[in-house]
């Protein structure tokens, strides 16, 4: 078994509020984190550096390291901080909106909106979560509507993970669409208006009958080849339908398949 990492332990203590006392400059971890978020919101995560944060706070870069050891710790603190925006520390927020299906749609909408406000979250390159207080409260809030509906603990976690993974995927597609429109200087509708007539002329291969028909239907409906918003809604309903069937099949007296 690997020995516990002192650096990892220190990072967790930092996440959970074990912060050095402010020095004579009045610099705090919270101020450093807010500055990092402002930079990331404006210019992306790659733009965040200890030097840029220090410049934004009008302090020397070395003074930051007394409070935050480096960018990895700063990024973890930034992630946990923005998670605190989701439910305002109200662990019953999702439960109060109605049944578990309505609650999961509420959770999906809140997470989608968070990605819209802080798209740099897509650039976090780690499969391990930032186990801070706000992520923990997020997990608690989002699990509560699933408790007692007929799922095991493992199934509750898997169901929530499936919902959040779907939101992540759709939100990434939405971000990609927005970037493409900005980079090209054309809206999807303008692009489709140019592409669609040409495709009608060139896609005459008999092997492409189905893809041509479906693609034309999608294009006519969305004025684009896809709609991340529609994918989000359709996929979420499908996921929730599947969870509902699973609950029904596990209920006492239900027929076996």
> Mean pLDDT across the stretch 108-135?
92
Nearest CA-CA partner of 169 in 100, 226, 86: 226
Average pLDDT of the residues of the chain:
89
Query: Does the pLDDT value for residue 210 go beyond 80?
Result: yes
What superfamily would CATH give domain 6-83? Homeodomain-like (1.10.10.60)
Q: Does position 89 have pLDDT exceeding 70, yes or no?
A: yes
- pLDDT, greater one: 243 or 11: 243
Mean pLDDT is lowest, of 23-27, 214-218, 245-249, 251-255, for: 251-255
Contact between residue 138 and residue 83 where contact means Cβ atoms under 8 Å apart: yes
Confidence class of residue 1 from pLDDT cuts 50, 70 and 90? very low
For residues 193 and 190, what is the distance between their CA atoms, to the nearest angstrom? 5
Question: What is the C-alpha radius of gyration for the chain, rounded to an integer number of angstroms?
Answer: 23
At residue 238, the 3 state secondary structure works out as: helix
Q: What is the pLDDT of residue 177?
A: 87
Query: What CATH number is given for 95-185+227-250 in this structure?
Result: 1.10.357.10
The position carrying tokens 């074990």 is: 18
pLDDT band at 20 (very low <50, low <70, confident <90, very high): low
Q: How confident is the model at residue 204 (pLDDT cuts 50, 70, 90)?
A: confident
Closest C-alpha among 84, 88, 74 to residue 136:
84
Q: What is the pTM of this model?
A: 0.88
Cα–Cα distance measured from residue 167 to residue 231, given in angstroms and rounded to the nearest whole number:
9
Rounded (5°) CA angle 33-168-32: 5
Q: In this structure, are residues 178 and 171 in contact, taking their beta carbons and an 8 Å threshold?
A: no
Question: Which residues have a Cβ under 8 Å from the Cβ of 187 and sit 6 or more positions away?
Answer: 181
- Indicate if the pLDDT at residue 38 is higher than 70: yes
Kindly indicate the confidence band of residue 206, based on its pLDDT and cuts at 50, 70 and 90: confident
> 220 to each of 160, 209, 212, 213, how far by Cα in Å?
34, 16, 12, 11
Checking if the pLDDT of 212 tops 50, the result is yes
**Looking at per-residue confidence, does 78 or 180 come out higher?**
78
Overall average pLDDT of the 8-19 stretch: 82
Alpha helices in the chain (DSSP H): 6-15, 29-43, 50-57, 61-64, 71-83, 100-117, 133-143, 153-184, 188-202, 209-222, 228-250
Residue 257 has pLDDT above 50, yes or no: no
Of 4-18, 60-74, 155-169, the one with minimum mean pLDDT is: 4-18
Residues of the chain with CATH 1.10.357.10: 95-185+227-250
CB of 84 within 8 A of CB of 135?
Answer: no
Write out pLDDT tens, residues 151-185. Answer: 999 999 999 999 999 999 999 999 988 888 888 88
**What pLDDT, on the 0 to 100 scale, is given for residue 21?**
67
Phi, psi of 236 (to 5 degrees): -65, -45
**With contact defined as beta carbons under 8 Å apart, do 122 and 175 qualify?**
yes
Confidence of residue 5 (pLDDT cuts 50, 70, 90): low
Q: Which has more confidence, 181 or 122?
A: 122
Q: Where in the chain is the domain with CATH 1.10.10.60?
A: 6-83
């Amino acid at each position: 078994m690997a020995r516990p990492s002192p650096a990892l332990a220190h990072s967790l203590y930092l996440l959970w509020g074990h912060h050095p006392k402010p020095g004579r400059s009045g610099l705090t971890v919270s101020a450093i984190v807010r500055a990092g978020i402002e930079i990331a919101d404006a210019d992306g995560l790659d733009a965040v550096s200890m030097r840029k944060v220090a410049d934004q706070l009008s302090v020397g870069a070395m003074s930051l390291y007394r409070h935050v050891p480096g960018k990895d710790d700063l990024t973890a603190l930034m992630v946990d901080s923005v998670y605190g925006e989701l439910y305002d520390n109200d662990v019953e927020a999702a439960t109060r909106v109605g049944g578990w299906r309505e609650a999961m749609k509420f959770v999906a909408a809140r997470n989608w909106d968070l990605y819209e406000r802080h798209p740099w979250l897509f650039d976090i390159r780690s499969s391990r979560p930032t186990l801070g207080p706000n992520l923990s409260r997020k997990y608690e809030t989002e699990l509560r509507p699933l408790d007692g509906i007929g799922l095991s603990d493992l199934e509750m976690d898997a169901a929530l993970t499936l919902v959040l993974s779907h939101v992540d995927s759709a939100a990434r597609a939405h971000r990609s669409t927005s970037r493409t429109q900005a980079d090209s200087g054309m809206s999807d509708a303008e692009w489709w208006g140019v592409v669609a007539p040409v495709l009608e002329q060139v896609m005459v291969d008999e092997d492409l009958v189905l893809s041509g028909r479906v693609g034309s239907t999608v294009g006519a409906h969305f004025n684009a080849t896809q709609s991340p918003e529609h994918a989000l809604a359709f996929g979420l309903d499908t996921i929730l339908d599947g969870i509902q069937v699973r609950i029904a099949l596990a209920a006492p007296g239900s027929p076996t398949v």
